[in-house]
A and B are shown apart, each in its own frame.
Chain A
Amino acid sequence: MAIWFRNLTTDWLSLRKPELRQIPFVFVAPERNRMIITAANPVAESQGVYSGMAAADAKAITTNLQILNYIPGKEARLLRQLGLWCIRYTPVVAVNLPDGLILDISGCAHLWGGERGYLKNIVNKLRASGYDTRAAIADTIGAAWAVARFGKITPIIESGRQAQTLMNLPPAALRLEAPVLEKLQKLGFSTIRSFMQIPRSVLRRRFGEAFLLRLAQALDQENEEIIPLVPPVPYVERLPCLEPIKTARGIEIAIQRLLEGLCLRLKAEGKGIRKAVLKCYRVDGKMVHTGISTNRGSHSISHIFKLLELQVSKIEPGLGIELFLLEATKVDDIDVLQEKLWAGNPGLQDSALAELLDRLAGKVGANRIHRYLPVEHYWPERSVKEAASLSEIPVTAWRTDRLRPIRLLPKPEQVEVMALLPDYPPKVFTYKGRRHAVEKADGPERIEREWWLEKGEHRDYYVVEDSDGNRYWLFRSGHYDAAPQWYLHGFFA
């Protein structure tokens, strides 16, 4: 199916600025030192202004003509948006510059009661939203394109009747280059019929290979590929709704239905979801989406449902959702045997734990969940690193030779300290306005800066116990002679 937006950019501007609807206006772009009209709105066209004219000439025809600057790349952006909107009708939508869309509607039309209902639905909706639209359905892209733009007949071409349909159309309907069209016109070929029967070799000599290719594509003698706007995801489930869905309960039912289809398929293929995206296409043309990810592949309906259930509150149904799309964007192989082996065994490989973490990540965010592994760094802040996955195991052992505080302040806090002798542990220190008399102390433990990573003073750490038995981790930054600064860095149990 091909969709043609007759006045794409001007319609868009009229939508943005309704006051322009009654006024003739044009977009112009400089070309060879002249301002050439690239698009004119219907009012301007009715007064005889067409794109391709010089702006000065147009101004002479229509006195109240508004001249606006052409916005480069606007059509592409607009078509992209419109194309994304069309995804509710079919997953494969391609932009057809400068003013059209191509939809692969195989297997989609029956949901709207056949091709006629399908076409009517799309065109009516687009027209209602303010775009002057024409569309046609045919076996080939070329034929649909031609009929959408030049056809004065029914827009639905029956299978195999491209040739008859195209015959009466002008050569321009074949998506040809301007020089070729000029040549055809000069030679008096006013319709496709007039050159259809001419031998290929003759046509090739005169008009080149590209011309023949276009003709063959339109007549279904040559295959034509389109580049979809959204590359199709292999694991995807669609659920169009007859009535727009507005309630949370409705969304949940939809998710359940989608999952039943998707998980069954994944299970049969021995795969599990690692990442999934739920897209909800709303009646007002917006698309809201939400995603989940799991720690290990899963095709358990109940588990994935629980994860998505947490996201339901984030979905704004607006006036209602008419299409749900569940895409598994990342899947992993699942070793069924292994799952059985580990189930119920407490440990990091436990599937119940992985499912719990997925659920927690869905609610509070995966960035809040951490697991740490030891790293061979002496500097306390660098002695742990985050594990990348549940299955990652430590490569070095946890160090136990030195005491480490159970609570480490993220940033050492400065304390006032009194020490009897240089390199002695402090006798008294003041933290947050409270004086602590040190009764016992261990240290110093000198921790050097890792000079290949950063510069700065080394630290001399002391483990001290005050008279109440509370234990602190204090350090002195730098050598004693250079007026050192003392910090509290942690609390021991």
Chain B
Amino acid sequence: MTTASDRKELISRLQKNILQWEGYKSPPAGTQELVGLGAVESAFPNGVFPLGSVHELVCSNTEQSAASAGFVTGLMSVLMQNGGVCLWAGLSQDLFPPALKAFGVEPDRVIFIRLSKDKEVLWVMEEALKCPGLAAVAGELKDIDFKQSRRLQLAVEHSHVTGFVIRNQTDKMGSTACAARWKIKSLPSEPVDGLPGLGFPRWQVELLRVRNGKPGSWIMEWSDGKFRHINMRMVEPQKLMVG
């Protein structure tokens, strides 16, 4: 006869096993805040941002895709700290390299691939995700289905490269094999020290779906080259409704 605590332990161990079979490598014990997302990281299994897996960002308009690009760049800056190189493949021709510098990424360490079809982007992403020489791979496309996302996930399981799929202006949201589904929206910025003009870019970061984690919504700001979590209570409720 097992006790309740035994059973709980057994379940958590089985869950961890499942995670490993699904391609996650459990990070070394005591690892915390891998990408500097602060409170957001607690939403993930074991409280650790899953590197070496594919993240999906959904955007419904150009403004959101710009915000998502900024957010991804911020994450990449952490992954590229050791002189890594990342690859950015996409349908859009308009990512402006000098802006990446503001999010901590050396633009000359990014390889851009301009493509014209979703199929090409997926092929390029899959090939790139297999390459351990890259720190991260981002792909901008219109839509991705379960099978395609599974292929990407399988590709990263060997190389442990982190992938970001930015889905531009998609209405359908089928399920995918991605580790997490994000939605990034801009929020009005707060003036810095009461000065007029724009403050630091501020986003509402929504974790719509996360495998074995807890979805949630946070407000993040990019300032001084890193993410800063804005406490919910500091923001007036109606501001959360906008966007």
Contacts and interface: CB of A to CB of B under 8 A. Distances in A.
Nearest to A398: B101
B65 A347 contact: no
Given A468-B243, A469-B202, A408 B131 contact: no
Contacts of A350: 85, 133
A449 interface: no
A352 B94 contact: no
Given A467-B242, A491-B66, A368 B113 contact: yes
A440 B197 contact: yes
A372 B100 CA distance: 11
B69 A406 contact: yes
Contacts of A410: 93-94
Nearest to A408: B96
A174 B202 CA distance: 90
B198 A440 contact: yes
Interface string B51-77: 000000000001101110111010000
A338 to B, nearest CB: 15
A373 interface: yes
Contacts of A383: 98
A465 interface: yes
Contacts of B82: 346
B85 A353 contact: yes
B38 interface: no
Residue among B92, B186, B187 having the largest count of chain A Cβ atoms under 10 Å: B186
Interface stretch (B119-127, B173-181, B210-218): B119-127
Contacts of A370: 111-114
Interface string A394-408: 100011100111111
B103 interface: yes
Contact of B100 (A363, A399, A406, A439): A406
A67 interface: no
Given A492-B201, A493-B71, A346 B133 contact: yes
B94 A348 contact: no
Given A398-B107, A406-B100, A372 B112 contact: yes
Interface residues on chain A, size class: 35 or more
Contacts of B113: 360, 364, 368-370
Contacts of A368: 113-115
B128 A360 contact: yes
B35 interface: no
Contacts, number: 180
Interface residues on chain B, size class: 35 or more
Contacts of A372: 97, 107-108, 110, 112
B69 A493 contact: yes
Interface string A366-401: 001111111000001001100100000110001110
Nearest to B199: A440
A447 interface: no
A363 B117 CA distance: 13
B111 A371 contact: yes
Contacts of A399: 98, 101
A470 B65 CA distance: 11
Chain B facing A: main interface SS: mixed
Contacts of B115: 364, 368
Residue among B100, B111, B243 having the largest count of chain A Cβ atoms under 10 Å: B111
B27 interface: no
Given A372-B108, A384-B97, A468-B243, A404 B102 contact: yes
Residue among A352, A400, A404, A406 having the largest count of chain B Cβ atoms under 10 Å: A406
B131 A353 contact: yes
A360 B63 contact: no
Interface string A432-474: 0000000111100000000000000000000101011111000
Contacts of B62: 407, 491
Contact of A492 (B66, B92, B112, B123): B66
B109 interface: yes
Contacts of A353: 85, 131, 133-134
Interface string B185-221: 1111101000011110111000000000000000000
Contacts of B107: 372, 374, 384, 398
A410 B83 CA distance: 30
Nearest to B93: A410
A360 B111 CA distance: 12
B85 A348 contact: yes
B152 interface: no
Given A440-B198, A469-B202, A493-B103, A352 B133 contact: yes
21 contacts: A346-B133, A360-B113, A360-B127, A370-B114, A371-B108, A374-B107, A384-B98, A398-B107, A398-B108, A404-B102, A406-B95, A406-B100, A407-B94, A407-B96, A408-B99, A409-B94, A465-B188, A470-B186, A493-B67, A493-B99, A493-B186
Interface of A: 344, 346-348, 350-353, 355-357, 359-360, 363-364, 368-374, 380, 383-384, 387, 393-394, 398-400, 403-410, 439-442, 463, 465, 467-471, 490-493
Given A403-B102, A465-B198, 10 more contacts: A353-B85, A363-B124, A369-B112, A370-B111, A372-B108, A399-B101, A407-B96, A440-B191, A493-B73, A493-B103
Interface of B: 62-63, 65-67, 69-71, 73, 82-85, 92-103, 106-115, 120, 123-124, 127-128, 131-135, 185-189, 191, 196-199, 201-203, 222, 242-243
Q: Which 10 A-B pairs have the closest CB atoms?
A: A493-B70, A352-B133, A408-B96, A491-B66, A350-B133, A353-B133, A470-B63, A469-B186, A469-B188, A406-B99
